[in-house]
Structure 1
Amino acid sequence: MALSSIEEDSLALKSYIKSYPDFPLPGILFRDIFNVFNNVDGLQLLNNILKKYAVELCGKVDCVAMLEARGFLLGPLMALHLNVPCVPVRKKGKLPGKVAQLEYTLEYAKDILEVQIEVFKEKKRILVIDDLLATGGTLQAAIQLLNNTGAKVVQALVIMELCDLEGRKKIDIPVKSFIQY
């Protein structure tokens, strides 16, 4: 039996993504990754995709930075497949110790991301992971914040990308997405 490719697995994974019209506001079609986690077959498929992609990244990254909140579900899996540590990038006030922070602008508001400084004592090649790339604001801010610590973000990884929102255009490093809408 032939092994499936990342592309074939990604197509199968897409069938596990649920869509909710008019959530959280009228006119928005919300794509929900949680159904993947609610289904053992979907979760195994996601794990297999991450494992296969880790082979492509092996030796190219030293750490996985996972974005709050759904990136926290993906970061540990990817870090284990890469045999590297993972660190959280969180909203302001959620991390103890010395933190670096960056204020950034969302579509209708401002927010602040933080990361613990001591985890980047040595310059590291970072993979940033999250579930979704939409407008790109949070991912762009996380990359800038991590680079400000002396680390070097070399790759971004998302499970889903909303291509019409053109978030990828804001990101100046390679972005891998498995599912595009």
Structure 2
Amino acid sequence: MNAEQEQKQLLVRERIRDFPDFPSPGVIFRDISQLLKDPVAFKGAIDLLEAHIKASHPQVDYIAGLDSRGFLFGPVLAQRLGVGFLLVRKKGKLPGPTESASYTLEYGKAELEVQKDAVKPGEKVILVDDLIATGGTMRAACELMAKLQADILDCVVLTELRFLKGAEALKPFPLYSVLQYD
């Protein structure tokens, strides 16, 4: 990482606030609201994600954003890269025929969906979200893309909570994070 990228990373980190004991005791919530309010910091976050994608993946067909904060970063990245954007939504939010994958939450199960015609076999996809914790949501999104026979190039996130071992849950799919918290 060069000096300019390090400055952007520092600015991004400074704009993420910690809220202890939210939504439950013992949890530290990493809030991106201040990052989104600051156009320079938000641009820096997008620049860092874009630089990684361009350096690592010269050919991309789609950016797939995870419901809902992946919708904040994904369309901007897709536009900058000149590729399409795909919606990976919570169950029941997409019209037409869909594929679904379930994943486990602390308090139950949830499902993600994508439209069956979102990608063609072999098309190259990068999945994006704001954060990875245990990896369940991102793993389900990878499973959806795999069902459609997409070539999953990478999973990119702004923040990674390493102590929850989300990267382990994604294997064999790769993970890139701008910021890491241990």
The CA deviation at 1:122 is: 4.2
Residues 90, 99 of structure 1: CA spacing in aligned structure 2 closer, same or farther, 3 A cutoff?
Answer: same
Counterpart residue number, 1:123: 122
Is the counterpart of residue 79 in structure 1 residue 88 in structure 2?
no
Q: Please name the residue that 2:44 is paired with.
A: 45
The Cα of 1:83 is off from its aligned counterpart by 1.1
Classify the secondary structure of the residue corresponding to 2:156: strand
> 3-state SS of the aligned residue for 2:111?
strand
Return the alpha-carbon distance in structure 2 between the equivalents of residues 38 and 180 of structure 1: 21
CA distance, structure 2, for counterparts of residue 22 and residue 29 of structure 1: 6
CA distance 1:58–1:169, shift in 2 (3 Å): closer
CA RMSD, aligned part only?
1.6
Q: Aligned AA for 2:105?
A: L
Separation of aligned partners in 2, 1:150 and 1:26: 40
| Partner in structure 2 of residue 66 of structure 1 | 65
Name the counterpart of 1:150.
149
Identical aligned residues as a percent: 38
Corresponding position of 1:55: 54
Give the alignment's TM-score, normalised by structure 2.
0.91
Equivalent pairs counted in the alignment come to: 179
Change (3 A) 1:58 1:140: closer
TM-fit CA distance, 1:18: 0.6
Supply the AA of the counterpart residue of 1:50: L
TM-score, normalised to structure 1's length?
0.92
Partner-residue secondary structure (3-state), 2:30: strand
Gaps of 5+ in 2: none
Q: Does 1:179 align with 2:179?
A: yes
